């Protein structure tokens, strides 16, 4: 018997849609060493272009830098290194090689500088190579190890200071020391910033990989647990039922019934896991109530099924199947254990305001104490409670000796996590 009541409905969001949205979010580009490396590459390239253009322009307009052929050669070499670094930063390829070439070319130019300027001394203005000192330090941070970058950051300003003192008025040695000290300070700042950002990004990547690994392990464990619950439920609902029927068979009809149960149990095992339910498929609460009514008709006792609320409420098919199986097991338990006298049994399907559904199986039989159920008994623990839990729902068994039993199966999108 199926009766229905009024109500409104809205389909809940499916679990598949939620997983898809989370996968879309996890697929976005995140803050990582790859992004920091790209940012560092662009920054070094821009700095090289800005300071390199300034240095070359000053070098070409300074007579002492161009009156000797060697000065022109040095400017051309550094210009080629600047263009190489700038182009590598644009295409994001070959940047380390270009930076390494720039560092060594700059050191060579510093060493040769005293021999290619026109006249030593006479000018307090910084030579054009000064504007490339910090750029060379940044290239070293990008291209070599941390120890080598520290050594380059300390050594290159010292070489510049010596060259500056050799090509300037001897009385202006303080300017050379100041320039070298300034170059060391700026170079160390660039070094600390670059190394800090890179290490932080690497730490973020490692933490993200560890979190994903833990998530994958949790998903695997959940799948294993769900499979265990399914196998235990199949064993209890099919195999044990067939064995009990065979043990109690006292007539040819009962033997045939036991044989039929055994055949169904074998078929259930063959089909288990071969055709997994589509996570996007849904059934209505009306179809759910109809399935419960069909199960109730097949029972040995009369059980009425009542539907309250909307019959158009959408429920994931995986959840609906679990609820029907759990309710069927509760009905079977009631027939077997509620007592041999007259017992009123009923099943109620009710929709809730949060797009969920509740199935209640009641009887006014002998009742029992749920705390005294033996661990080896799978009927309540596996076929009802764990089966509902594995699909994101819940099951509550309320019973006591002498006052009947009520089994409440509930599921809602919020409880299942589909709306997160």
Same domain, 59 and 15: no
CA angle at 417 for the pair 412 and 420, rounded to the nearest 5°:
120
Asked if 59 and 206 sit in the same domain, the reply is: yes
Of 210, 237, 261, the one marking the end of a domain is 210
Structure tokens at 272: 């288990």
What's the average model confidence in pLDDT over 288-305? 84
Do 187 and 46 share a structural domain? yes
Q: Which of the listed residues 158, 176, 210 is the one where a domain comes to its end?
A: 210
Examine residue 180 and state whether it is found in any structural domain, yes or no.
yes
Q: Are both 18 and 128 inside the same structural domain?
A: no
Cβ-count burial 410-419 (b if 16+ within 10 Å, e if not): bbbbeebebe
Q: Are residues 343 and 416 in the same domain?
A: yes
In a domain, 266, yes or no: no
Check whether 274 has a pLDDT greater than 60.
no
Residue 193 in tokens: 């910033």
**110 and 181: one domain?**
yes
Smallest CA-to-CA distance from 293 within 363, 365, 355, 348 is with 348
Q: How confident is the model at residue 247 (pLDDT cuts 50, 70, 90)?
A: low
Q: Are residues 374 and 308 in the same domain?
A: yes
Burial per residue of 117-141, b for 16 or more beta-carbon CB atoms within 10 angstroms, e otherwise? beeeeeeeebbbbbbbbbbbbbbbb
Confirm whether 416 is domain-assigned.
Answer: yes
Residue 100 CA, chain-centre distance (Å), reads: 37
Domain that holds residue 64: 31-210
* Gyration radius from the chain CA atoms: 40
The whole-angstrom separation of Cα 167 and Cα 111 is 12
Q: Of 184, 210, 236, which marks where a domain is finished?
A: 210
Q: The whole model's pTM is what?
A: 0.47
Quick check: is 103 in a domain? yes
The answer to the question of residue 364 being in a domain is yes
pLDDT of residue 28: 43
Here the CATH number for the domain that contains residue 8 is 3.30.565.10
Question: For the stretch 52-88, what's the b/e string if a residue is b when 16 or more beta carbons lie within 10 angstroms of its beta carbon?
Answer: beebbebbeebebbbeeebbeebbebbbebbebbbeb
Q: Domain tally for the chain?
A: 2
Q: Is pLDDT of 239 > 70?
A: no
Is residue 366 included in any domain, yes or no? yes
Does one domain contain both 141 and 176?
A: yes
Query: Would 226 be classed as within a structural domain?
Result: no
pLDDT of residue 23: 38
Rounded CA separation 57/60 (Å) = 5
Residue 243 lies in a domain: no
Give the pLDDT confidence score for residue 263 in this predicted structure: 63
Higher pLDDT, 265 or 300: 300
* Percent of the chain predicted with pLDDT > 70: 70
User: Residue 308 has what DSSP assignment?
Assistant: E
CB 192 within 8 A of CB 143: no
User: With contact defined as beta carbons under 8 Å apart, do 13 and 418 qualify?
Assistant: yes
pLDDT of 87 higher than 90 = yes
Of the listed ranges 125-129, 270-274, 404-408, the one predicted with least confidence: 270-274
- Clarify whether residues 60 and 190 are in a common domain: yes
Q: Please give the average per-residue pLDDT across 388-400, as a whole number.
A: 87
Do 180 and 71 reside in the same domain of the chain?
Answer: yes
- Calculate mean pLDDT across residues 257-266: 62
Same domain, 77 and 18: no
Q: Are residues 311 and 345 in the same domain?
A: yes
Q: Are 409 and 357 in contact (CB under 8 A)?
A: no
* pLDDT above 60 for 305: yes
């Amino acid at each position: 018997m199926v009766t229905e009541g009024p109500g409104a409905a809205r389909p809940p969001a499916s679990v598949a849609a939620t997983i898809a949205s989370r996968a879309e979010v996890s697929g976005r580009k995140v803050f990582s060493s790859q992004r920091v490396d790209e940012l560092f590459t662009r920054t070094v390239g821009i700095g090289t272009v800005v300071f390199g253009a300034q240095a070359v322009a000053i070098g070409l307009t300074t007579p002492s830098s161009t009156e000797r052929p060697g000065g022109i050669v040095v400017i051309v070499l550094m210009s080629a290194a600047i263009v190489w670094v700038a182009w590598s930063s644009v295409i994001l390829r070959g940047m380390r090689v270009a930076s390494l070439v720039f560092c060594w070319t700059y050191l060579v130019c510093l060493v040769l500088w005293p021999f290619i300027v026109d006249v030593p001394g006479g000018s307090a203005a910084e030579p054009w190579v000064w504007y490339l000192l910090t750029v060379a330090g940044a290239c070293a941070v990008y291209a070599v190890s941390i120890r080598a970058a520290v050594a380059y950051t300390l050594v290159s300003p010292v070489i510049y200071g010596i060259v500056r003192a050799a090509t300037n008025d001897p009385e202006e040695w303080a300017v050379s020391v100041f320039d070298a000290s300034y170059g060391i300070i700026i170079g160390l700042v660039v070094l600390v910033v670059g190394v800090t950002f890179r290490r932080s990004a690497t730490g973020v990547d490692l933490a993200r990989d560890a979190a994903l690994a833990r998530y994958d392990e949790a998903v695997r464990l959940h799948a294993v647990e769900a499979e265990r619950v399914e196998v235990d439920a199949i064993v209890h609902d099919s195999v044990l039922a067939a064995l009990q029927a065979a043990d109690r068979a006292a007539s040819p009809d009962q033997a045939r019934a036991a044989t039929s149960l055994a055949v169904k149990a074998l078929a259930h095992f063959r089909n288990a896991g071969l055709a997994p339910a589509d996570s996007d498929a849904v059934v209505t609460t009306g179809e759910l109530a109809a399935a419960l009514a069909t199960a109730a008709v097949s029972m040995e006792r009369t059980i009425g099924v009542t539907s309250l609320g909307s019959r158009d409420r959408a429920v994931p098919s995986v959840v609906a199947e679990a609820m029907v199986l759990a309710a069927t097991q509760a009905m079977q338990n009631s027939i077997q254990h509620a007592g041999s006298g007259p017992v009123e049994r009923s099943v109620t399907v009710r929709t809730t305001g949060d797009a969920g559904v509740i199935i209640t199986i009641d009887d006014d039989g002998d009742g029992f104490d749920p705390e005294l159920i033996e661990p080896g008994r799978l009927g309540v623990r596996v076929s009802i409670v764990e089966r509902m839990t594995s699909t994101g729902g819940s099951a509550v068994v309320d019973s006591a000796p002498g006052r009947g039993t009520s089994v409440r199966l509930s599921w809602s999108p919020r409880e299942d996590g589909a709306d997160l």
